[in-house]
Every structure is written in structure tokens, then in C-alpha cells.
Chain A
């Protein structure tokens, strides 16, 4: 079945450093979504990418969807302590609504 792999599992950075998490699917995706889960909280939707090669930005966050629609990345520029949390990618294979989540990347930021 469809698998979504995400790396790294953990990332510890100094405040102000950049951060990137990568997501790879075993199958071609119709779209990919990114969620953030703060410690003790539940996942919250950040963004979705639908088109091949799509790039979207939200302030310091840049999201990319690969040309083959099988991989994606989230890059945070100049991390802040408010960026702490676990970032999940989630892929949808056939627009049926079923999402398969990656294992998440836990980001910690040292002030």
C-alpha cells in the first residue's frame, strides 16, 4: 500500500538557523498537505500543494512539491522558538480524501 516517509525524525537547531524536512511517497500523489502539531496539541493544517513543481510560501515557510508529485519539502528560514513542534506531511493518492501521514519531523529550537 501507499507509504509516506519523512526525514529527519528529529532536528535541533539554534534560533535563527534554517530547517528543512523532506517527504517521499511510494506512489504518485494527487496532492500533499502539511500539518503542524505543537507539543501537547493536535495537528493543524498549514498548506496543500496540488500541482507538479508547485512552490508556496507562508512568511518564513516555503513548501515545494516535486515534479513527479512523489516528494515534498518544507523549509523554514531563520527559525524562531514559536516554530517548535512536529511537522507532518500527508499525501493523498487519488482525491478520495484518504490521507497517509509521514512519521513527522520534530523540531526543537534553542533560544
Chain B
């Protein structure tokens, strides 16, 4: 079946512009996550949606970052007034409860370059 998809795959933007990144999770997955991965670095947790619960926004680095999710479907991550330090790959993952844990399925990521 279809996996997690993200768009665009690459985005180059000028400093100060806003960008919107999109994630389409696997159908039926209740949980959705956004991570940031800088070049050669690990995965930095940004935000987590679980069903209709209030999202866990504890990883958002500043108020320039926000994310929304409509029900259990598409999510968008918005970065306002982009800065060069925002350059990274933004990964989305979705998961569902297996009975023991949540196994995450990752999308291919959006590579954001801020010039």
C-alpha cells in the first residue's frame, strides 16, 4: 500500500519568506510526527499529533513554527520568516498502535534550503 508522502521534496526559499510543508500519512494511522534533521545530525522532535487530542508542541523551536492536522489525515508544517538555520530535511512519520508500541513509518522528507 501507499506509504507516507511529503511535498515538496525540495524547497529553496529566501530568508524571511514563509514556507508550508505537507505530509500525507498512511491511511488509518492515528499518530503523526514531524522531525527536523540537519545535515549529519540526528532527528529533532518537533510536534506530535494523536487522534483528536491536543498536539504535543514541545519540540517546536520557536513561535515561527506551527503545524496543523485535519482529523487523521493531511498535516502541514508552516515556518514563518524563514532563517538560514531552518535549512534542514523535515521528516514526517505516521504510526498506529500495534498493541505494544507505535511503529513509525517515515516519509522521504522535504529538503528545505534557506538562502
Contact = CB atoms under 8 A, between A and B. Distances in A.
Interface of A: 1, 6, 30-31, 33, 35, 41-45, 48, 50, 88, 90, 92, 95-104, 106
Interface of B is mostly: strand
Contacts of A44: 106
Interface residues of B, number: 26
B98 to A, nearest CB: 8
A42 B107 contact: yes
A24 B31 CA distance: 25
Nearest to B96: A97
A43 B50 contact: no
B104 A99 contact: yes
Nearest to B105: A45
Contacts of B95: 97
Given A103-B42, A104-B42, A97 B103 contact: no
B107 A98 contact: no
Max chain A C-beta neighbours (<10 A), residue from B40, B102, B109:
B102
Contacts of A50: 100-101
Contact of A48 (B33, B56, B103, B108): B103
B45 A42 contact: no
A100 B42 contact: no
A88 B103 contact: no
A17 B102 CA distance: 33
5 contacts: A1-B58, A43-B43, A45-B103, A97-B97, A101-B43
Max chain B C-beta neighbours (<10 A), residue from A30, A43, A88:
A43
Contacts of A103: 41-42
B65 interface: no
Interface string B83-115: 000000001010101001111111111000000
